[in-house]
């Protein structure tokens, strides 16, 4: 072979070698039923080998090779996909491999494999098309053989898979797909290595080998799903011959729930024994008649009675209640109420009465109604409750005085210095005024000064201790009375909507302070609406706060029944950045003439004195909602 500057000259020997190479390549392509293709991205030239014409059954008048000509032979359902894949590889490099169908020149649909990759050394894509009809025929034969197993597998309640001798999953039923967290179509992509824990794999391979040998045994293992889920299964298997190939039918019987139930039962029994025996509260189990059938050491310690003595007693024999009806009798009468809390006394061996709180819950044991009672000592609670209320009152007062002391003193001094001459001069001028116009203006000045003096008096009153007189009240009744007063004190453009439950809400509270809480929240809501038309909605209802409620951790309030008063307005709402500040003293978004910023601060303190909590949140209508939680009797 020789070359000059502009031309390449091939010797006869070179031409012979090239011809043989081309012929050999064509023969290889024909044997493999593969046809090559090449696309020059830069020039747009497209080439495909003669064997592509053979695959597509193009005998006469072959089309000019181009990307669009090739795509035209692809099944219409995949043409857009092929176009996109070619464009992606042309732009980004890489490769794609696609199983699809082609339509031959005479309209026959054949399965093909299309493989294309970018040539890193030039602006070209190279690839091939392979006729895989024979593979499909073989698979169809296999699937036909497997069809007789599908009816059994699809109707089975257990997960069933068919394993090859190499440990590849051939197929499985829907239960198997659910167990392995894949679709049925994805099952053939898995092997036994994918579905077992690594530490269990060697043991399970031994079991699978035993199944292939025909040994009738069962194995217990953990199956790993594609998404990481774990399931405990009982595994059995038997060998089968399909198309002269030995395979293995494997059945996975899911015992996850059964295993969890057994483990949970054991743990529950252990926890129960530990909790009951080590509990700081007394615990009793009662039958439907109230007879004690089990107890714990704490109750024996509290009463001074032996366990054997308690087991011979009735619940009413060792307790004392102010009410005529016991908790168990009350639960029987209500029928649907699952639990109740009552306070009473526990009788000791020497006849003393221990103040005790009783939580009584009803449950079913083998179809019979029984009760579980938790008894906790209230002696220290009752003695400490008065101290707590007094300390809380003192703390409240100290905080008010700390916040308002300097302000009140300064106001009193400054206002008195300013108001005294104003009041004196205005009164003197009023006595000498002969003109009605001047007398009226002087009277306005005098009245304004009097109002300023009363303002000082109110602030000073706020800093003085307040006497609280809690009694048993019905919050629903007090709400109705307070709303009647509130209606007369807010603009007529604002409506009051009472959506409270029709029920009694018995609470141990100071009547005046409850009125003040309602008035302060209602007034604040009305001021938020302003001069526009709007609505202030009051909703009083009962809720039960249990140990799982977020309110317990957020406000540190005890479990129990609570009255919830939610006041919602149609105002502009509370911005997120200040919603946690609105209960701080003197914090206000109003002008200096519209509010002092004390209303909600006072509400929070009064609610906390009553053992409750208050929170503010965004209302669904865009306004604000303030909710008060007060413990019920």
> Distance between alpha carbon 347 and the CA centroid of its chain, in Å?
46
Residues whose CB is less than 8 angstroms from the CB of residue 378 and which lie 6 or more positions away in sequence, other chains included: 343, 355, 356, 357
Is residue 557 within 8 Å of residue 545, measured between CB atoms?
yes
Q: Tell me how far apart the 2 most distant CA atoms of the chain are, in Å.
A: 141
CA 358 → CA 327, 374, 377, 545, distances in Å? Answer: 8, 6, 9, 17
- Give me the torsion for CA of 79, 80, 83, 84, rounded to 10°: -150
DSSP three-state, residue 584: coil
> For residues 452 and 550, what is the distance between their CA atoms, to the nearest angstrom?
45
Encoding tokens for residue 313? 């007693």
For position 541, what pLDDT does the model report? 93
Confidence band, pLDDT 50/70/90 cuts, at residue 406 = low
Contact 340, 331 (CB under 8 A): yes
Q: How confident is the model over 74-97, as pLDDT tens digits?
A: 999 999 999 999 999 998 888 998
Q: What is the pLDDT of residue 404?
A: 58
The Cα–Cα gap between 15 and 17 comes to 5
Contact 578, 618 (CB under 8 A): no
State the pLDDT at residue 361: 87
More confident of the two residues 596 and 630:
630
pLDDT at 540 over 90: yes
How far is Cα 472 from Cα 508, in angstroms, rounded to an integer?
4
* Phi, psi dihedral angles at 554 (to 5 degrees): -75, -40
Q: Does the fold of domain 470-631 match that of domain 147-259?
A: no
Neighbours of 176 (CB within 10 A): 26
- Calculated CA dihedral for residues 552, 557, 561, 565, nearest 10 degrees: -90
Find the helix or strand (DSSP H, E) in which 131 lies. Answer: strand 124-131
Distance CA 519, CA 269 (A): 53
Per residue, what are the HEC states of 569-619? ECCCCCCCCCCCCCCCCCCCCCCCCCCCCCHHHHHHHHHHHCCCEEEEEEC
State the pLDDT at residue 631: 93
Which residue matches tokens 């009255």?
563
How much is the pLDDT for 86?
Answer: 92
Output phi, psi for 298, to 5 deg.
-60, -40
Q: Is the separation of the CB atoms in 67 and 46 below 8 Å?
A: yes
Instruction: For residue 194, count CB atoms less than 10 angstroms from its CB and return exposed for 0-12, middle for 13-18, buried for 19 or more.
Output: middle
| DSSP code of residue 323 | S
**Radius of gyration of the chain from its Cα atoms, rounded to whole angstroms:** 44
pLDDT interval class at 177 (50, 70, 90): very high
| 559 neighbors 545 (Cβ within 8 angstroms) | yes
Residue 142: which pLDDT band, with cuts at 50, 70 and 90? Answer: low
Q: Which of 106-115, 418-427, 581-590 has the highest mean pLDDT?
A: 106-115
C-alpha–C-alpha distance, residues 597 and 591, integer Å:
10
For domain 33-131, say whether CATH 3.30.450.20 is its number. Answer: yes
Q: CATH assignment of 147-259, given 3.30.450.20, 3.65.10.10, 1.10.1060.10, 3.40.50.12280? A: 3.30.450.20
**Domain formed by 470-631, architecture:** 2-Layer Sandwich (3.30)
> Residue 401 and residue 338: Cα distance in Å, rounded?
47
**Tens digit of pLDDT for each residue in 314-357?**
888 898 887 777 777 777 776 667 788 888 899 999 988 989 88
Q: Are 198 and 224 in contact (CB under 8 A)?
A: no
So what's the pLDDT on residue 1?
Answer: 33
Which residue in this structure is represented by tokens 């020997």?
13
Give DSSP secondary structure letters for 16-32: HHHHHHHHHHHHHHHHH
Token couple for 315: 């619940």
Of 601, 555, 611, 578, the C-alpha closest to 403 is 601
pLDDT in tens, 453-502: 655 554 554 445 455 678 899 999 989 988 887 887 788 899 999 988 88
DSSP labels, 277-301: HH-SSEEEEE-TT-BEEEE-HHHHH
Domains of the chain by residue range: 33-131, 147-259, 279-377, 382-462, 470-631
The CATH code belonging to domain 279-377 is: 3.30.450.20
Q: How far apart are CA 429 and CA 439, in angstroms?
A: 8
Lowest-pLDDT range of 245-249, 272-276, 314-318? 272-276
Tell me the two tokens of residue 409: 């003193």
What DSSP string describes 65-109? Answer: P-HHHHHHHB-HHHHHHHHHHHHHHHHH--EEEEEEEEE-TTS-E
Report how far residue 324's alpha carbon sits from residue 328's, in angstroms, rounded to the nearest whole number: 12
Per-residue burial over 273-289, b = 16 or more CB atoms within 10 Å of its CB, e = otherwise:
eeebeeeebbbbbbbee
């Amino acid at each position: 072979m020789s070359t000059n500057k502009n031309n390449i000259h091939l010797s006869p020997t070179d031409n012979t070698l090239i011809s043989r190479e081309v012929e050999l390549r064509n023969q290889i392509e024909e044997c493999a039923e593969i046809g090559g293709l090449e696309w020059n991205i830069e020039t747009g030239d497209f080439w495909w080998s003669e064997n592509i014409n053979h695959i597509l059954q193009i005998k006469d008048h072959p089309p000019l090779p181009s990307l669009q000509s090739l795509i035209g032979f692809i099944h219409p359902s995949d043409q857009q996909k092929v176009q996109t894949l070619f464009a992606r590889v042309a732009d980004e490099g890489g490769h794609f491999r696609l199983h699809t169908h082609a339509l031959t020149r005479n309209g026959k649909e054949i399965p093909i494999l299309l493989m294309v990759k970018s040539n890193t050394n030039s602006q070209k894509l190279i690839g091939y098309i392979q006729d895989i009809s024979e593979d499909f025929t073989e698979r169809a034969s296999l699937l036909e053989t497997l069809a007789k197993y599908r009816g059994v597998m699809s109707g089975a309640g257990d997960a069933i898979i068919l394993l090859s001798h190499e440990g590849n999953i051939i197929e499985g039923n829907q239960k198997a797909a659910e167990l392995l967290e894949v679709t049925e179509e994805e099952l053939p992509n898995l092997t036994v290595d994918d579905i077992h824990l690594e530490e269990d794999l060697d043991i399970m391979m031994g079991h699978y080998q035993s199944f292939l040998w025909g040994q009738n045994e069962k194995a217990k293992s953990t199956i790993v799903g594609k998404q990481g889920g774990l399931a405990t299964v009982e595994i059995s298997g038997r060998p089968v011959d399909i198309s002269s190939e030995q395979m293995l039918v494997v059945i996975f019987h899911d015992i996850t729930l059964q295993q969890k139930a057994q483990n949970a039962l054991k743990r529950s029994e252990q926890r129960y024994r530990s909790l009951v025996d080590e509990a700081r509260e007394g615990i009793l189990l009662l039958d439907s008649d109230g007879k004690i059938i089990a107890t714990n050491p704490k109750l024996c310690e509290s009463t001074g009675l032996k366990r054997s003595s308690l087991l011979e007693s009735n619940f009413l024999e060792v307790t004392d209640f102010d009410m005529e009806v016991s908790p168990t009798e009350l639960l029987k009468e209500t029928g649907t109420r699952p639990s109740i809390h009552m306070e009473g006394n526990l009788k000791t061996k020497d006849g003393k009465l221990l103040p005790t709180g009783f939580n009584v819950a009803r449950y079913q044991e083998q179809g019979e109604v029984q009760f579980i009672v938790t008894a906790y000592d209230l002696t220290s609670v009752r003695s400490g409750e008065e101290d707590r209320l007094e300390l809380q009152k003192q703390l409240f007062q100290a905080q008010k005085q700390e916040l308002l002391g300097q302000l009140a003193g300064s106001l009193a001094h400054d206002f008195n210095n300013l108001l005294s001459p104003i009041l004196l001069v205005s009164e003197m001028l009023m006595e000498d005024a002969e003109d009605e116009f001047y007398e009226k203006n002087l009277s306005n000045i005098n009245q304004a000064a009097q109002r300023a003096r009363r303002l000082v008096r109110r602030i000073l009153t706020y800093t003085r201790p307040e006497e609280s007189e809690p009694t048993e009240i019905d919050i629903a009744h007090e709400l109705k009375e307070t709303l009647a007063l509130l209606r007369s004190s807010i603009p007529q453009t604002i409506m009051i909507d009472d959506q409270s439950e029709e029920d009694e809400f018995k609470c141990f509270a100071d009547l005046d302070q409850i009125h003040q809480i309602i008035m302060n929240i209602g007034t604040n809501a009305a001021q938020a609406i302003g001069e526009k038309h709007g609505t202030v909605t009051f909703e009083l209802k009962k809720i039960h706060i249990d140990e799982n409620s977020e309110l317990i951790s957020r406000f540190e309030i005890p479990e129990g029944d609570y009255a919830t008063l939610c006041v919602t307005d149609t105002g502009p709402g509370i911005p997120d950045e200040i919603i946690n500040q609105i209960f701080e003293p003197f914090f206000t978004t109003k002008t200096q003439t519209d509010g002092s910023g004390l209303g909600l601060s006072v509400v929070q303190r009064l609610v906390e004195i009553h053992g409750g909590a208050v929170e503010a949140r965004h209302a669904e209508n865009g306004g604000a909602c303030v909710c008060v939680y007060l413990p019920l009797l």
